A and B are shown apart, each in its own frame.
Chain A
Amino acid sequence: MYDLIVLGGGPAGLAAACRAWQEGVRRILLVERDDALGGILNQCIHNGFGLHRFSEELTGPEYAGRYIRMLGQTGVEVRLATMALQILPGQDGAPHEVHTLSPTHGYEVLQTRAIVLAMGCRERTRGAIALPGERPAGIFTAGAAQRYLNIEGYLVGRRVVILGSGDIGLIMARRMTLEGAKVLACVEVMPYSGGLTRNIVQCLQDYDIPLYLSHTVTDIKGHDRLEQVTVSQVDANRRPIPGTEMVFDCDTLLLSVGLIPENELTRQAGIEMDRRTHGAVVSEAMQTSVPGIFACGNVLHVHDLVDYVSAESERAGAAAAAYLQGNPSASLPSLRLDNGAGIAYTVPQRLHPGIGEAQVFFRVNRVTGPAAVVAENDAGETSRFRRLRFAPGEMERITLPANLVATAKEHITLRLEEGSV
């Protein structure tokens, strides 16, 4: 019997496990399906990690290394090459079950008082966006190409078009260029990029790679290996405009068209989900609708910065410790954080009124100039958070004042207000 099982040994799981140990939890098991800890950070060999968390610029493996060393100083038990197949929540305070499969321990049913879900996310594929055309080799998700390049040491192609301007795609535009490939274009269906501004500058502009906004891939040619893609401009409804076709002769198409939290275990366990984040609904303590089951990192919502993943996951680890040490909250609190105009989602989605100030992550659903996010509760209290610019590609973090939280009755609504700044 464990006190805590952490599912996933990437940045979220590492931070949650370390923090729970620091808070005094002792029987902790961390389950990782890969052969090494660190998760996707292991293939992110570029720098830019850790500016918030460690106040210095690290590569992905360096950032992971810091947490792996921290974990090494704890007594957390780690099981690698172990796949969690199923979670069965315990009823009425009974322990939860985690079913796992591994070469060393076979099929096992583990019992635990608490669980932190930290399974991360996966990339959206060609199928998810129903990309038309033929299906030759040479079409990769950006992350798969990154793994081939940075872990296995193989280049996947030499003339490249990138669809989607998510951060991994942008990073790969630079990476493939540095390895001698020619990146012909980065194509984005939306009128704005989905990636961080710093990546647009450092990975595309610095290498003269054109970014085609409001464009998409409308045809793919090649029986065996990719030979050609057609790119068309799209209208306001994202419909291709006939006559705007551009043809690129290329052998590789990388897809950077979004990430999806990997929540099959979560759904199977009957945990309440948020259809906007594709993750669980959680309280400010990162607790899901099942008492004793917490979620953090990209399995909860997709982050831009690993630093925020760590911060959020440390909160989950601390909350799991508090839960185990006798402060269990029965279920999700009733105070809701609602999305008003311009807000795509918030995490957490629920708050306990008595918690004092509350840190909230959110994303907007359009690009703005100077604007404010207004938080208003149903007692008429408001708070305003100004920025020079909002964009869906940049996750925002605000702290709601204690008074706004304490006086709310049923809900607090976040909304985007333009032009009033």
Chain B
Amino acid sequence: MYDVILIGCGVVGAATAYQLARYDLKVAVLEAQNDVANGTTKANSAILHAGYDPEPGTRMAALNVEGNKMAKELCRKLDVPFRPVGSLLLALSEAQKTTLQTLYVRGLANGVPGLALLDREATLAMEPGLNPELTGALYAPTAAIVNPWEYALAMAETAVVNGVELHRRCPVTGIRPLPEGGFALQTPRGEWQTRFVVNAAGVNADKVHTLLEPVPWKITPNRGSYFLLDKAEGSRVGHVIFQCPGPNGKGVLVAPTVHGNLLVGPDAQPVEDRRDLGTPASALDFVRTQARRSVPGIDFSQNIRNFAGIRANSDQEDFIIQPSPAYPAFLDLAGIKSPGLTAAPAIGKRAVELLAEAGLVCRPKAQFIAERHVVRMDRLSPAEKNVQIARDPRYGRVICRCETVTEGEIVAALHSPIPALSINGVKRRCNAGMGRCQGGFCGPRVQEIIARELGIDQTAVPMDQDGSWVLAGETKTGREVTGDV
């Protein structure tokens, strides 16, 4: 019998696991896919919002501001790329200045520090590449950029290092309340019994809850498409550049990334199929046109990748963070739309409080490993690089030439607390294949290293999720493996 089982290991599940790992509890995380952070967490704007958007008094407002405050220290301890670049929300007409004023007042009410209303000249002085027709901006110094999947991965890894079990490829297919209290969860890998359940299933949170009982809310998945531009465009802007929000979200933004690229997007498109991560031509056209209204000079010929993420929106205004009235030991963390990434660490803390209120006894562990460290060759000085290479020459062999990622870093990702199991899993852990050639050169080599390190056949290494097979078969053996992955 587990004390707590979390369903889903996106950033919300990871943050909750990280908080629970501090206590003397038997905790497991069940993740449907072959990797953590593989849903909404890996495909979003990678921004830690300051917190002036949500209505004062909502959970969203409080958790946004609190999550933003927690981020810097968390990223330092867990070695996650983080840059406090600040944001500018642009007014592109006189009328939009009213919106700035409204959000400024809202931000003050939410306790957002350092907000300032800027006039046109001050805005252009801070960010000369902006549309000169702008009329003003709301400056939020506490907005930051982060590597979102590493943020989640780092929290999940730290949880695992501190004794939380993570089971991947383990979708929950049934939930049954036990007569003596607690729940039995059905999965393809057997039945799991637990006293408490945390539903952090992201875009599928409503479906998961429905396994137990009907729910009065539902997820309304909404897709956003992006451009990721080459590092040659990475310094086009120094701040996160927002447009005034509309009914469909925060609008198209332009932002630097922690990797040095430029991120442009998203649009907002309701979708039925929660796995349809396509980027239609119409969405890309919309993003291009809208982004040029803020930053006219963006060179879209420097695009290296389009991607889309599905927002786990719900039909509720606020985040759904509450126990089921009928089953107080079943806690929903659902409908975590923007600013979910920002709020996640605070949601994790709040989740533990709610579990404690429902009767979970939380005794702090004697020993909690709070720090995580990752070797990233491109951040080391020449002398430090040589120390690393002397210790392990594989850190001198560059596999991904665009991002200068070495074999040593890839091997480390394959033997980390949550080992990568796919080519994209390696990409998310150490950046190999993230660059301008998009794995054209290093993809086959990365795949070979994965097969070698995990002791599996190269044809069994997927690109991303199970089923995303890369190789149809060997040419000289006549062996067919199509679709076996």
Contact = CB atoms under 8 A, between A and B. Distances in A.
A123 interface: yes
Given A155-B471, A155-B472, A127 B303 contact: yes
Given A81-B397, A122-B436, A130 B472 contact: no
Given A127-B228, A158-B482, A225-B468, A144 B443 contact: yes
A152 B458 contact: yes
Contacts of A101: 377, 385, 389, 396, 398, 404, 406
Contacts of A103: 389, 393-397
B2 to A, nearest CB: 31
A141 B467 contact: no
Interface stretch (A47-55, A216-224, A396-404): A216-224
A183 interface: no
B473 interface: yes
A134 interface: yes
Contacts, number: 158
B393 A225 contact: no
B469 interface: yes
B306 A127 contact: yes
A350 B243 CA distance: 46
B444 interface: yes
Contact of A106 (B301, B304, B389, B465): B389
Contacts of A104: 393, 396
B432 to A, nearest CB: 13
A225 B389 CA distance: 38
Contacts of B436: 122, 125
Nearest to B482: A158
A102 B396 contact: yes
A127 B440 CA distance: 12
A207 interface: no
A141 B276 contact: no
A154 B280 contact: no
B385 A107 contact: yes
A290 interface: no
Nearest to A109: B382
A134 B43 CA distance: 14
A130 B278 contact: no
Contacts of B303: 127-128, 130
Nearest to B280: A132
Contacts of B283: 132
A81 B407 CA distance: 11
Contacts of B469: 137, 224-225
Nearest to B396: A103
A33 interface: yes
Nearest to B382: A107
Interface in B201-251: 227-228, 232
Query: What is the predominant secondary structure among interface residues of chain A facing chain B?
Result: mixed
Interface size bucket, A side? 35 or more
A147 B475 contact: no
A210 to B, nearest CB: 22
Contacts of B441: 122, 144
B440 A123 contact: yes
B372 interface: no
Interface residues of B, number: 62
Contacts of B467: 223-225
Interface in B259-299: 275-281, 283-284
B279 A132 contact: yes
B472 A158 contact: yes
A156 interface: yes
Interface in A97-135: 99, 101-107, 109, 122-123, 125-128, 130-135
B379 interface: no
B438 A127 contact: yes
A83 interface: yes
Contacts of A102: 396-397
B474 A153 contact: yes
Contacts of B482: 158, 251
A122 B472 contact: no
Interface in B426-485: 436-441, 443-444, 448, 458-459, 462-476, 482-483
A149 interface: yes
Contacts of B444: 144, 147-148, 151-152
Best-surrounded residue of A105, A131, A152 (most CB of chain B within 10 A): A152
Interface string A173-214: 000000101000000000000000000000000000000000
Contact of A154 (B276, B377, B465, B473): B473
The 8 A-B pairs at the shortest CB distance, nearest first, are namely A224-B467, A137-B463, A103-B393, A103-B396, A137-B468, A83-B398, A134-B278, A127-B305
14 contacts: A85-B404, A101-B396, A109-B382, A125-B437, A136-B468, A144-B440, A154-B471, A155-B475, A158-B472, A218-B281, A221-B278, A223-B277, A223-B465, A225-B468
Interface of B: 227-228, 232, 275-281, 283-284, 300-301, 303-307, 377, 382, 385-386, 389-390, 393-398, 401, 404, 406, 436-441, 443-444, 448, 458-459, 462-476, 482-483
Given A122-B436, A127-B228, 15 more contacts: A83-B401, A101-B385, A101-B404, A104-B396, A122-B440, A126-B438, A127-B303, A127-B438, A128-B301, A131-B306, A132-B280, A137-B462, A223-B467, A225-B468, A240-B281
